[in-house]
Amino acid sequence: MSEVGAAAGSKKTPEKDAILPQKDLTHLFKAKSVAIVGASANPDKIGHQILRNLIEGGFEGDIYPINPKEKTILEKDAYPSVTDVPNFIDLVVISVNANFVMPVLKECVEKGVKHVIVITSGFSEVGNAREEQEIKDIADQFNISLVGPNTLGVVYPPNKMNTSFGPRDVILGKIAFISQSGALAIALMGWTKMEKIGLAALVSVGNKCDIGEEELISYFNEDENVDVITIYMEGIKDGRKFMQTAIKKPVVVLKVGRSQRGARAAASHTGSLAGSDQIYNAAFKQLGVLRAQSFTEAFGWARCLSLPAPDGNDTIIITNGGGIGVRTTDECVAAGIKLFDDPDWLEEKFRETMPSFGCTKNPVDITGQAPADAYQKATRIALEEDRIKAVLVLYCETVITNPLKIARSIAGEYKKSGSKKPLLVAMVGGERTREALHYLNHENIPAFDSISEVVDGLKVLYKWQEYKERKLDKPDIKPPPQEVLDIINNAKKEGKKILLEHEARKILELCGVTTPKWGYARNLEEALEIAKGMYPFAMKIVSPEIVHKTDVGGVVLNVRNEEGLKLRYNTMINHIKEVMPAAKIEGVNLIQMVKGIECIVGLSRDPQFGPAVMFGLGGVFVEVMKDVAFRIVPFGKVEATRLIHDVKGNKILDGFRGIVANKPSIIQSLLAIQRLAPYVQECDINPLISNEFGSFAVDARIILE
Amino acid sequence: MSEVGAAAGSKKTPEKDAILPQKDLTHLFKAKSVAIVGASANPDKIGHQILRNLIEGGFEGDIYPINPKEKTILEKDAYPSVTDVPNFIDLVVISVNANFVMPVLKECVEKGVKHVIVITSGFSEVGNAREEQEIKDIADQFNISLVGPNTLGVVYPPNKMNTSFGPRDVILGKIAFISQSGALAIALMGWTKMEKIGLAALVSVGNKCDIGEEELISYFNEDENVDVITIYMEGIKDGRKFMQTAIKKPVVVLKVGRSQRGARAAASHTGSLAGSDQIYNAAFKQLGVLRAQSFTEAFGWARCLSLPAPDGNDTIIITNGGGIGVRTTDECVAAGIKLFDDPDWLEEKFRETMPSFGCTKNPVDITGQAPADAYQKATRIALEEDRIKAVLVLYCETVITNPLKIARSIAGEYKKSGSKKPLLVAMVGGERTREALHYLNHENIPAFDSISEVVDGLKVLYKWQEYKERKLDKPDIKPPPQEVLDIINNAKKEGKKILLEHEARKILELCGVTTPKWGYARNLEEALEIAKGMYPFAMKIVSPEIVHKTDVGGVVLNVRNEEGLKLRYNTMINHIKEVMPAAKIEGVNLIQMVKGIECIVGLSRDPQFGPAVMFGLGGVFVEVMKDVAFRIVPFGKVEATRLIHDVKGNKILDGFRGIVANKPSIIQSLLAIQRLAPYVQECDINPLISNEFGSFAVDARIILE
């Protein structure tokens, strides 16, 4: 993060902003020895369930139940305290009453333990933030990686390690799942098992007093057992820290609390702070994180994201049913997925895979009679052709064909091909079809019972490809020139909260935002002088007492000549003297009228993510359609371009009724305004008028801290 | 359909437009005797499979295999021909080669059969439209209801009648399913059985040469065994006939071929004609049909639509997990579903259903420990409270609770309540949860494994409620006055295809569309006279040779005074004489300049649905955002209001930068333009400028047939 972004944070002290060295998480997952404090012989106790899951899950390292009253539990030797264990302990799981957690943690410190999971609840989620902070302080002081408190535990199938009190079995796979809800984690463990979705890790992060999403993503980035990371999130602790996370593998986030009411419900559930959902959206996009809308979508995407990404745009659809072929075509078109098109080649290659009434056009309809070997042939042709970059295979259950055999032949062909391009399957039918779907998912071929999901899965692969290939945007936001700081400091000394309009425009100019020709005149004589060569222009009153200039007749538009200037100047001054005799009139601003496309650019602060820049098109777009988008400061040219593109009406910039906007100068404005982030509370350029010659800050408002 | 709509159709002859008396379908479904022509002893033959399905499905009526070579098939006496059967036959199923279909149909006529299903394929779907028409003619001549050709058959579980060659078993329920794809129907039969979704009927309509969606909806409207109708549709045969269908029960349509490419694929699949997808959307809305986007959505909706509709807006969420509670809240807010809010009452009533750390706010979180009886209590409280209009119950699988027991207690409570309000369930988890979901669906309580689906299900119930309660719109579109027809006929006589601008504006005025003050002047003197009291105005050249007036300087705006008029009139005429010496100049139109919100109103013809009216906001909305909506002619005030509301930017009409549109006069224009439907090919009012005083057709273009 650049200097600007760092200095621009919320009210935190600089010490807190310093980034602690990344804690090592290796033995949180690849522990060779685990102690369970609170292990119990009573099967109703969580401490018993965890121990049993660990043992029966097949953990091959050392297991130490810690219980002062028992000699052995589940045939394992028990110890009164972790300090009594004769060997080194990689990981301690604490499941005791809340008031015993701190003493146990201190014993862990004494024992030199570096990884701790605190299962126990009763901390910040019930308002007890003080004790949670004490735990966090100890963890930081002794460089302990601490998961929790208030967690279900950690499950890491590659190490056969289940320290949770959830279900014992999950299927080994390549997806790491991070959940802020323990209850949901339990339910989804069962669901993934049923759907044959494999997991590489499950971390219930609980209150996230120490280890949160950021640390886990960083660890999984380097973990060879993980291909994709999915996150269920109710809120982020520190948005700016989150923005520093490197995204090296696909990350799919389900962030709930989109609506205000939902955010309130989340707050009462885990005490998460609610940030604006639009800002979360911006942050995810900027970071390259994929945002899903539901559990099934998140895991559907995750399954697909373990496939090789398509290295081009031509997709083929192989189907045994016309109806689902049409459905899939519709969805592909809606998703912007291009279908491969070479009718002659398709006819030549695919004709032999189908009866005479089949259709070789893409979607390739091998007909309802198609048996496994027709699927096999068609799949092979599609996989072998270099021009085809992605393959969608569809099956509609029939009475005379065998879905499992068909699934086997598709999977076999895909494996034989060396899997260099993505292949996804959708199958519609009853129990036999479900069995086939499970088989495919077990074989790591993403298979769905719905057309929407299979196309969505391919779409997200393209999206991830785009994120990966996106040029790395190195924001280089320089501090503003000294003159800007001088203006701001002077204004502060004078007790101003809002800068005068010409001060604001001056500051923006100094930062690199173009403005129309303008001038500040203290009287009519100065105005007549400045006005030369500037007609037509707008004239606005300057007075610290007048905030809403229009309301008192302090704004006139389209002053076209000297005669008009004299007349309208006098009218304005006289009128204001009459209606606001107390206002000190300092003069007028003259601003040349500019024609072009109205935009709006803003800088504000989010409680979670700090300074953020907004862009929108002016007029109906912002006022009626609320069509605006955001990025977190700092960002460079690439993100500025994407920000403009995020606005739905962006096409208007390419030309409307003969006027074309100047995108480079809009981008320039989006970069320039960031220079003010550490020094002002808010800045609005409204409108920024863009035309072929540039983009001009016609009106601006700056609010100081 | 009013006279106007009827006369406005496509090129069909009046005879075809006349509506034939509705054929009776009762014994297509409630047949007491069924003959199968082409019944075979060979298990590979379709005729064998149908016979077996009919027998083994438990059909209790008489079954007559028709086969000239066999004495008995599957222990049933066989007959050489339907005419040889000694008794009356309600329904004949034909499964013989295409060239034998016509002779068999003639035997059916001879026998007096009134219901026929033609399984055989090889007709219009392979280009053989002539023979299909012959079949249709016979059916009409002898008042036979004919399903097919090219169909899977008809299944009607209330009569234990399965005349399909698909799976034998489906679950008896209340949903009628009409499918244009036989393959899909087979696959979905298996899927509904697996998901415990009950069907009242399945009709594979095939090529729809006689019986189509319209006849089936009309029949199911009155069938006590049917609550909801779902349709898989690739294309409609006759849009105007479809628009006459009365929708008395919820109809859910999955119409594929949304995209151009998808429509092309559909065309090569069933030979369906592709209409514009926007027009289909308009038609469905206007008729009150619910349009789903996927199979699962269609059947998910259908399950929910068999519930009583909520009679108000207050929904309660009962959950055992905070995370899914938040997700559901988000989805409800996004769907516009209001959550019940009375914190004191909630606390008083629900506190006893949960441990101390539960949350009585809505979503009511009875916590992960909640056993079946906590669910039962909470459900009962919600069902008993009159102010609560809909109930969503959520369950997240835990290790210590039993999902099936919980499902049973919810279902029991719901039945006991007499089911006067909708209750829907979502459960997330593994196999045990799946079993619970199946139980609930079997008990006709819509239960889903996803939050999105359950909220969507409730949303569609509200939507259907809105459709039902919508005021019946009786379009009363009168023919235009004789003067309009005279103008049109004169223009036609002169060989004009496009009317002159002042002719178009005159016609619209006569039909009831307001125009700005305007006048037609043949020379400057007339122009000066007309201009009095009309400044500022626009002036446009009138010449049959000049189509693109702006290109030749034939349009000037903002003529402000006499001086300006003289100068600009002469400049215009001289310039045109120079650049287009051949053009016969007939004069100029003067049109007063009007300020207001730009709209666009259009009338055009769709190949499927005939005349349709478009509405949009002008400027960026139509040119950049393509934000327009349609309705099929004829429609009245209610639909005109809904049409305006369908446009995304409609809020702008309520006021933008001080200008408010005049909705009643926009509606008036939308009704008035319909009067032209039978007489013109196209009519565009662009712009229609709306302000507080009215809506004015500033420019108009009319294209004749």
Both A413 and A554 in a single domain? no
Please name the residues in contact with A596: beta carbons below 8 A apart, sequence gap of 6 or more.
A659, A661, A689, A690, A691, A695, A696
Q: Give the integer Cα–Cα distance in Å for A678 and A393.
A: 53
B170: chain A residues, CB-CB within 8 Å:
none
Phi-psi region at A208: left, alpha or beta (left = phi > 0; alpha = psi -120 to 50): left
d(CA A519, CA B223): 80
At residue B370, does pLDDT exceed 50?
yes
Please give the average per-residue pLDDT across B411-419, as a whole number: 93
CA distance B334 to chain A (A): 7
Residue A582 and residue A612 in one domain: no
Which structure tokens are listed for B533?
A: 């009291």
Question: Which residue in A232, A434, A624 is closest to B651 by CB distance?
Answer: A624
CA dihedral of A491, A497, A502, A505, whole degrees rounded to 10: 100
Domain that residue B686 falls in: 597-704
Question: Are residues A49 and B266, on separate chains, in Cβ contact within 8 Å?
Answer: no
Chain A's closest residue to B270, CA to CA, is A322
pLDDT score for B262:
77
Q: Amino acid identity, residue A426?
A: A
Residue A241 domain flag: yes
Provide the token pair at B212: 């189509």
Rounded Cα gap, residues A48 and A41, in angstroms: 6
In a domain, A300, yes or no: no
Mutation site, A150, A256, A258, A392, interface B, largest B CB count within 10 A = A256
Report the alpha-carbon distance of residue B87 to residue B62 in Å, rounded: 9
Angle between helices A182-195 and B322-335 (to 10 degrees): 80
Q: Which residues pair with A230 in a beta bridge?
A: A177, A252
Contact at CB, B450 and A265, closer than 8 angstroms: no
Partners of residue B194 in chain A, C-beta under 8 Å: 430-431, 434
Q: Is B623 on the interface with A (CB under 8 A)?
A: yes
Give domain status of residue B496, yes or no. no
Chains A–B, number of C-beta pairs less than 8 Å apart: 242
pLDDT at A1: 35
Chain B contact present for A122, CB below 8 A = no
- The CATH number assigned to the domain holding B548 equals 3.30.1490.20
Q: What's chain B's length in residues?
A: 705
Q: Is residue B10 over pLDDT 90?
A: no
Listing from the earlier edge strand, what are the strands of the sheet with B518-521? B518-521, B587-592, B537-542, B555-559
Pair B268, B326 in one domain: no
- Could B397 and A187 be called an inter-chain contact, meaning their C-beta atoms sit closer than 8 Å? yes
Domain end marker among B568, B592, B616? B592
Mind listing the pLDDT tens digit for each residue in B72-84? 999 999 999 999 9
- Chain B residues within an 8 Å CB radius of A183: 320-323, 368, 396, 398
* Structure tokens given for B235: 């294309």
CB A46 within 8 A of CB A118: no
- CATH number of the domain that residue B615 is part of: 3.30.470.20
Is there a single domain that holds both residue A225 and residue A266?
yes
Give the residue among A336, A211, A236 at the shortest CA–CA distance from A287.
A236
- The CATH number assigned to the domain holding A339 equals 3.40.50.261
Residue A186 with chain B: CB contacts under 8 Å: 368, 396-399
- Chain B residues with CB under 8 Å of A260 CB are 333
Backbone angle region of A655, left / alpha / beta, with phi > 0 → left and psi within -120 to 50 → alpha: left
Higher pLDDT, B22 or A477: A477
Taking the Cβ of residue B359 and every Cβ of chain A, the question of whether any pair is shorter than 8 Å is answered with yes
DSSP state, residue B634? S
Q: Which positions in chain B touch A399 (Cβ < 8 Å)?
A: 49, 165-167, 186
The DSSP 8-state label assigned to residue A552 in this structure reads: G
Q: Which band of pLDDT confidence, cut at 50, 70 and 90, is reported for residue B473?
A: confident
In a shared domain, residues A350 and A203: no
**In chain A, how long is the greatest CA-to-CA distance?**
103
Cα separation, B683 vs B52, whole angstroms: 58
pLDDT of residue A89: 97
Position B13 pLDDT exceeds 70: no
**pLDDT digits 0-9 by tens, B133-191:** 999 999 999 999 999 999 999 999 999 999 999 999 999 999 999 999 999 999 999 99
**A324 or B276, higher pLDDT:** A324
Closest CA to A338 of A362, A319, A354: A362
The alpha carbon of residue A536 is apart from the nearest alpha carbon of chain B, in Å, by 19
Which residues between 17 and 56 in chain A have a beta carbon less than 8 angstroms from any beta carbon of chain B?
49
Q: Residue B315's closest CA among B306, B325, B305? A: B325
d(C-alpha B254, C-alpha B179), whole Å = 10
Closest CA in chain A for residue B327: A256
Q: Classify residue A548 by its DSSP letter.
A: -
User: Would you tell me which residues 461-520 of chain A have a C-beta closer than 8 angstroms to some C-beta of chain B?
Assistant: none
At B205-230, the pLDDT tens digits run 999 999 999 999 999 999 999 999 99
Q: Does A232 touch chain B (CB under 8 A)?
A: yes
Residues B396 and B433 in one domain: yes
Q: Select from A592, A622, A643 the last residue of a domain.
A: A592
Listed residues B576, B592, B608: the one ending a domain: B592
CA dist., res. A217 & res. A623, Å (int): 39
In this structure, the answer to whether residues A602 and A580 fall within a common structural domain is no
Taking the Cβ of residue A188 and every Cβ of chain B, the question of whether any pair is shorter than 8 Å is answered with: yes
Whole-number pLDDT of residue B8: 39
Residue A624 at interface with chain B, using a CB cutoff of 8 Å: yes
pLDDT digits (tens, 9 = 90+) for A643-694: 999 998 899 999 887 889 999 999 999 999 999 999 999 999 999 999 999 9
Using a CB-CB distance cutoff of 8 angstroms, which residues of chain A are in contact with residue B187? 321, 396-398, 428-430, 433
Please tell me if residue A597 touches chain B, with a CB cutoff of 8 Å: no
At A122, which CATH number?
3.40.50.720
Does the pLDDT of residue B267 top 90, yes or no? no
- Across the interface, whether the CB atoms of A266 and B357 are under 8 A apart is answered no
pLDDT-flagged residues of chain A (< 50):
1-18, 270-274
Cβ neighbours of residue A137 closer than 8 Å, sequence gap 6 or more: none
Reduce the DSSP state of residue A16 to 3 states and report it. Answer: helix
What average pLDDT does chain B have? 92
Residue A8 belongs to some domain of the structure: no
Same domain, A326 and A459: yes
Distance CA B105, CA B98 (A): 11
Q: Which residue of B has its CA nearest to A188?
A: B429
Q: Is residue B508 part of a domain?
A: no
Peptide bond into A86 cis (omega under 30): no
Dihedral over Cα of B187, B188, B193, B199: its sign: negative
Cα–chain-centroid distance for residue A443?
Answer: 30
Contacts of A268 in chain B (CB under 8 A): 322, 359, 361
Backbone angles phi, psi at B704, to 5 degrees: -85, 170
Report the alpha-carbon distance of residue B508 to residue B702 in Å, rounded.
10
Closest residue of chain A to B333, computed from CA coordinates:
A259
Q: Give the residue from chain A lying closest to B197, CA to CA.
A: A430
Q: Tens of pLDDT along A461-492?
A: 999 999 988 877 788 899 999 999 999 999 99
- B329 and B425 both lie in a single domain: yes
Rounded CA gap, A488 and A702, in Å?
10
**Three-state DSSP state, B387:** coil
Partners of B294 on chain A (C-beta within 8 Å) are: 327, 450-452
- Per the model's pLDDT, the better-predicted residue between B501 and A109 turns out to be A109
B423 touches chain A (CB under 8 A): no
pLDDT in tens, B334-360: 999 999 999 999 999 999 999 988 999
| Closest CB from B186, B261, B430 relative to A194 | B430
Strand order in the sheet with B62-66: B62-66, B33-37, B91-94, B115-118, B145-147
Quick check: is A284 in a domain?
no
Amino acid, single-letter form, for residue A134: E
Using a CB-CB cut-off of 8 Å, the residues of chain B touching A262 are: 326-327, 329-330, 333
How many CA within 13 A on the CB side of residue A531?
Answer: 26
Q: Are A178 and A230 in contact (CB under 8 A)?
A: yes
Read off φ and ψ for residue B464, nearest 5 degrees: -65, -40
pLDDT at B272: 45
User: Token pair for residue B173?
Assistant: 């329920």
Domain total in chain B: 5
pLDDT of residue B268: 57
Strand spans (E) along B60-143? 62-66, 72-73, 76-77, 91-94, 115-118
Cβ distance of A323 and B296 shorter than 8 Å: no
Contacts of A429 in chain B (CB under 8 A): 187, 190-191
- Whether residue A501 is found in the same domain as residue A643: no
Reported as a single tens digit per residue, the pLDDT across B656-687 is: 878 999 999 999 999 999 999 999 999 999 99
- Residue-level pLDDT at A5: 39
**Domain assignment present for B487:** no
Residue B188: closest CA among chain A residues belongs to which residue? A429
The answer on A335 and A406 residing in a single domain is: yes
Q: What is the ipTM of this complex?
A: 0.88
Are B348 and B456 found together in one domain? yes
Kindly state whether B187 is in contact with chain A, defined as any CB-CB distance less than 8 angstroms: yes
Cβ contacts of residue A688 below 8 Å, gap of 6+? A513, A598, A599, A600, A601, A618, A666, A669, A695, A696, A697, A698
Q: Could you tell me the two tokens for B378?
A: 């909470």
Question: What is the reported pTM?
Answer: 0.90
User: Does a structural domain hold residue A94?
Assistant: yes
Q: Is B122 on the interface with A (CB under 8 A)?
A: no
Residues of A in contact with B191 (CB under 8 A): 397, 428-430, 433, 449
Interface contact flag, A326 B434, Cβ < 8 Å: no
